[in-house]
Structure formats: structure tokens, C-alpha cells
A and B are shown apart, each in its own frame.
Chain A
Amino acid sequence: MIRVALLVAGKDLRIERRSRVLLWQVLPFGVTALVLCGLALGPTHAGHSSAAPGLFYLVMLLVALLMINRAQVIESSPGTRASIATLGLDPAGVFLGKALALAVELWLTGLVVLAGSVLFLHTALSGTLEAVPSVAVTLAALAAAGTLYGALSGGGQGPATLLPILSLPAFAPLLIAGERSFSSSLHGGSLWRWWLISLVALAAYLAIGILLYGVLEES
């Protein structure tokens, strides 16, 4: 399973590296969305970091939706599903691989958007660095959930519009837990409690994905 996961993750990341979509489209989109959040707050409030954790995760949710849609487009290109089926790859491994690739992409984007929040939203550098591990766990949970919802929405009518409806309610608890743990890093508070919620969500989505991804791919 792990071997298949690494194989699939490597394949997805190679496609991303060659297409440069992450570099030239997703990262600029993330930074633009963050700047727009600052503009929406107005010059007086944009410099106050109390809203920054929530805005960071809101931007990351939008980025995640883009990335999941992108992963689905790659997956639905002619012959891809057929070749995976022909190779007889373990569906649990395929799920883990796709989730890992998405997590790596979200981590890279997250680092840039975190730097952007220090620059534009004036979050304290020490607090932001302290938040990095919790951000990594929350984004990994987002990737696991996103991979599952991407498979659910793919292939039907209007997958691009269906994906946000399916996934945003599930992302809401992650947004809350991520925002609270980031805020705790910046202003003090029960960081571990919220981090634990993200960790439990990550474990739950990985377990559900390992068990049920094969059922979704049967189609």
C-alpha cells in the first residue's frame, strides 16, 4: 500500500512540476486572495492580526478547492482511470498517494500564504512559526478530505460546482480547529486542544478513505 501511495504521489507531483500550474496559477491566486482579504478589511483593520488566522484558512480552502478540481481533471483525462484499473493498484494506496501529493502542494502554498500573512496582515513572525506544525496537520487533513470529496464529485454533472457544495461543510470543522490553533499560537491559549481536533480529523479521513476509496473507484 505504501509503495503504491509513493508511486501515485510521485506521478501526481511530477505532473504538477511539469505543468507549472501550482507555480504560475495557484500560488499567485493564493496571494491575490490574501491581498483581497486585506482590502476587504480596509486599511485600518488589515494590519490587525486578529482576523489573520481565519483569513489564512479561508484562502487555503479556496486554494484547496482549486487543487482538488485540478487533481480531478488530471484523473479524468482519457485512459488514466483505465490504466490504474488495468495495473490493479490497491485503491487504498491510490487514495493515500493522491492525498499525499495534494498535501505537499497545500504545504508549499501554505508556506507562501503564511509569509503573505506576515507581510500583509502583520501576524507576528514568532507566533506564525509556532503555528507551522498545526497548519501542516490541518492542511494534511484538508488534503485527505479533499481527495475523498474530489472522488465523490468527479465524473458527474458539473463536478466543478458540485465539489464546493460537498466539501465545504466538511471543511468547516477543520477551518474552526485550524483558526483556533493559529490564533492560540499568536495570542496564547489552548493550542494543543485544537491541534488534536485536526489530528483526529486527519486520522478519520485517512481511515474512511482507505476503507471506501475502492468503492468510489469501482465505477
Chain B
Amino acid sequence: MIKTLSQRLLGPVTLVLLALTFWLGLWVTPPDKVQGNLARLLYVHPAIAWVALYVSFGTAAIASALYLWKRTRSVVMDRVAHCAMEVSTVFIILTLITGSIWGRPTWGVWWAWDARLTSTAILGLFELAYLALRRANDDPELRARRSAVFAIIAAVNVPIIHFSVDWWNTLHQGATVFTENGNLLVHGIMLWTLFLSLFAFTLLFFWLLRARYRVEVLRAQRYDVALDEALAQRRREGVH
């Protein structure tokens, strides 16, 4: 019952928290001293990037690793990896779009050859390649195995993206919350709204993942039914 309740509440709670984030971000929080109203992207862009790079891609990579480990190998892991990667692709695209919206007035260009931007875009290309790889293989087991290996190779890119602002001279601003010396660069209502946005978008990911997973299960069931019908049809043809 608790499971059903949590599943039913996930969507409405996510929507309420997202609405609260937007209300706080657009009306309650003050504009930034330097960046003015542009800083309101702080309540959207980092949260989307957090979901794209760590939550969704992490889910896909962990599910892939669990699929490759023989003890935990199951079609569920493959489906979770696939669905999480699809959601991650959407979030990566949104990350790049919201980053560009911030970059145009700040840097003067929609796109800069910056270490973090470039490495994020490369991760997006990896994710598109993952989806292409899945479509190229019809055998479910072969597809699952190859996709899992590919996801793990692509996961090497995530630490590069995370540390790119420290390793290279980059236009992208450094950490504002998890700084090296532990000093917070954002405070008060702005900080709490930032945390709320991270939580709300994380819930949004799990809501989308659950919905996408159910679609995948229904698709598999439909395929099985269609296959059974086709076999029955063949048998009937054989009898006549």
C-alpha cells in the first residue's frame, strides 16, 4: 500500500515542488548584485545539469554495471539503463540550452569552446550514440550487453566534466556550494531555493523514469502478444 501511495504521490509532489521552485526563483528571491535577474537561471540550470550528469547518467551507468555482473543480470537492469539514458539525453539537451541562454548575455556568445561546455556536449553525443547502438541491434541480449559496455565506457567522461573547471582555465564559473574551501558563495533564500530546485528536478527525473519504464514494459508485452498471435496464425495455416 505504501508503495502504491508513493507511486501515486510522486507526480503531484514533483509538480508542487517544481511550482514552488519557480515561484521562489522568479518572485521571492532577490536579483543578484552582479548578474541581476540573469542569476535566476541558477534555480534551473544547475538542477537540470545535476540530473543530466549525475542522477540520470549515474542511474544508467549503475544499472549497466549491474547488468554486466552475472549475479544481478536481468532485463529490468537493461530497461532501467535504457530509460535512464533516454531521460538523461533530454536533460543534457536542456542543460546545453539553458547554459546557452545564460552564456549569450554573460559571455556575448551562444556557444564557447569552454572545457565544461565541450565535455558536456561530448557526453550528449555519447548518449545519442548509446541510443543509436540500441536501435542497431535486434537481438535483446546482444543489445543489452553491448549497451551496458558502452554506458560504462561513456561514464569515464563524467569525472572529466566535473573537474574540468578545476583542471583547465575555463569561462564556466566554479562551484558555488560545494567549493574547495567549504565557503558558501550563495546564501539565505537563494541557497534554499537552489536546494529545493535540485530536489524537485531529481524527483522529476524519477517520475519520468517510472513513466518511461512502464511504457517499455507495455511495449515488451505488446511485442510478446503480437508474436504469440503470429505463431498461432501460422499454426492455423499449417492445419488447413
A pairs with B: yes
Tell whether, in the assembled complex, residue B160 and residue A165 are in contact, meaning their CB atoms are under 8 Å apart: no
Chain B residues with CB under 8 A of A208: 152-153
- Chain B, interface residues (CB within 8 Å), range: 20 to 34
Tell whether, in the assembled complex, residue B122 and residue A169 are in contact, meaning their CB atoms are under 8 Å apart: yes
Tell me if B's interface is mostly helix, strand, loop or mixed: helix
Tell whether, in the assembled complex, residue B160 and residue A162 are in contact, meaning their CB atoms are under 8 Å apart: no
Q: Which of A16-24, A44-52, A152-160 contacts B (4 or more CB under 8 A)?
A: A152-160
Tell whether, in the assembled complex, residue A162 and residue B136 are in contact, meaning their CB atoms are under 8 Å apart: yes
Chain A residues with CB under 8 A of B175: none
Complex Cα–Cα for A212 and B154 (A):
14
Tell yes or no: A108 within 8 A of B by CB.
no
Beta-carbon contacts under 8 Å, A36-60 to B: none
Complex Cα–Cα for A13 and B160 (A):
35
Tell whether, in the assembled complex, residue A215 and residue B133 are in contact, meaning their CB atoms are under 8 Å apart: no
Tell whether, in the assembled complex, residue A204 and residue B128 are in contact, meaning their CB atoms are under 8 Å apart: no
A162-B132, A169-B126 are known contacts. Are A157 and B138 too (CB-CB below 8 A)?
A: yes
Write the nearest CB–CB distance from A91 to chain B, whole angstroms. 12
Tell whether, in the assembled complex, residue A219 and residue B136 are in contact, meaning their CB atoms are under 8 Å apart: no
Query: 14 other contacts beyond A156-B142, A219-B145, with CB at 8 A cut-off?
Result: A155-B137, A157-B136, A157-B137, A158-B136, A162-B133, A166-B133, A166-B150, A168-B125, A169-B125, A172-B122, A212-B68, A218-B145, A219-B139, A219-B141
Chain B positions near chain A (C-beta within 8 angstroms): 68, 122-123, 125-126, 128-129, 132-133, 135-139, 141-142, 145-146, 149-150, 152-154, 156, 160
Chain A positions near chain B (C-beta within 8 angstroms): 148, 152-153, 155-159, 162, 165-166, 168-170, 172-173, 204, 208, 212, 215-216, 218-219
